Structure 1
Amino acid sequence: MRLTSFTDYGLRILMRLAGSPDRPFSTGELADEFKVSRAHLAKVISALANAGYLNTRRGGGGGAVLSRPASDIRLGDVVRALETGQPIVECFSADGSACTLTPSCLLKDRLKQAEQAFFDDLNQATLADCIYRPPWEVSAAE
């Protein structure tokens, strides 16, 4: 299974925030650190906030922080939330399928099981298992 860059950056944001849970991060700070556009990251942060993973506050001293402890955030749940609308194959699409095999396809059930197994496996880990602190913060703390 391939994740979208949207989900990739969503996971990176959560990992980064988990490394400094008491400090709010602005979109600009994260965009500079990840070397990606602010507009793209703003959309990702908005989706994470709408899914209940982040609290955000505008203005001076504002930014994004985790809405709950990293140990309470399951990776599979995050990926599922961010990959909404991104079916792994056309026949899983909400608007139907143009596939002529659909009525008697035996692969669809196997793929559905594999997709569920993927999320189940990711849900065995939490964000706390993937906390990230950049080297410059680790060496400054020593």
Structure 2
Amino acid sequence: MRLTSFTDYGLRMLMRMASDPDRAFSTADMADEFGLSRNHLAKIMQHLARAGLVETRRGGGGGAVLARAPGEIRLGALIRLLEEGQVLVECLAPGTNDCTLDGRCRLKSRLRSAEAAFLADLDRSTLADLALDQPTAN
């Protein structure tokens, strides 16, 4: 299974935020830290905020903070949220399935089962399990 860059970057942002949950992170700072587009990270941050995973604050000292404790956020739920609308293969997409094998194919049920097992395994871990170690001062 391949996750989208949207999910990859969203997970990185959340892992960074979980490593220092009392700090407000700006998308500009995270973009610099990760070497990624600020605009792309801003879109991801908006998605996370609409889902209630982060709270954003404007102005001096502003930025984003986790809305819940990292130990309460399941990884499977994050993947489901960030991969929303993405299907493993085209034939699993509701309403746009143009597969000529549909109705005869045994692969679709296997893929659904594998995807469910993948997400169930991730549901056993939380964002707290992935929090980044703090850099040590020299």
User: One fold, TM greater than 0.5?
Assistant: yes
Contact 1:4 1:83 in 2 (8 A): yes
User: Which whole-Å CA distance do the structure 1 matches of 2:121 and 2:48 have between them?
Assistant: 21
Q: CA deviation at 1:59?
A: 1.7
User: Which whole-Å CA distance do the structure 1 matches of 2:107 and 2:133 have between them?
Assistant: 42
CA-atom RMSD, angstroms?
1.2
Contact 1:20 1:133 in 2 (8 A): no
Structure ranking higher in helix proportion:
1
Alignment map for 1:2-81 (pairs within 5 Å): 2-81=2-81
Letter in 2 for 1:58: R
Runs ≥4 in structure 1, deviation > 6 angstroms? none
Identity %: 58
Q: CA deviation at 1:58?
A: 1.6
Counterpart in 1 of 2:121? 121
- The answer to whether 1:99 aligns with 2:109 is no
Tell me the secondary structure at the aligned position of residue 103 of structure 2.
helix
Q: CA deviation at 1:134?
A: 4.7
Bigger drift between 67-76 and 100-109 goes to: 100-109
Counterpart in 2 of 1:89? 89
User: Which whole-Å CA distance do the structure 2 matches of 1:18 and 1:83 have between them?
Assistant: 20
Letter in 2 for 1:117: A
CA deviation digits over 1:103-139, x for unaligned, max 9?
221111111010000100001100110101352xxx1
User: Which whole-Å CA distance do the structure 1 matches of 2:83 and 2:69 have between them?
Assistant: 22
TM-score, scaled to structure 2: 0.96
TM-score, scaled to structure 1: 0.93
Letter in 2 for 1:18: A
User: Which whole-Å CA distance do the structure 1 matches of 2:51 and 2:8 have between them?
Assistant: 16
Tell me the secondary structure at the aligned position of residue 60 of structure 1.
coil
Counterpart in 1 of 2:132? 132
Which blocks of at least 5 consecutive residues in structure 1 are unaligned?
none
Letter in 2 for 1:77: A
CA deviation digits over 1:39-95, x for unaligned, max 9?
000011111111221111122111000001000000010001000111000011133
Letter in 1 for 2:94: A
CA deviation digits over 1:14-51, x for unaligned, max 9?
10001110010001000000000100000111111112
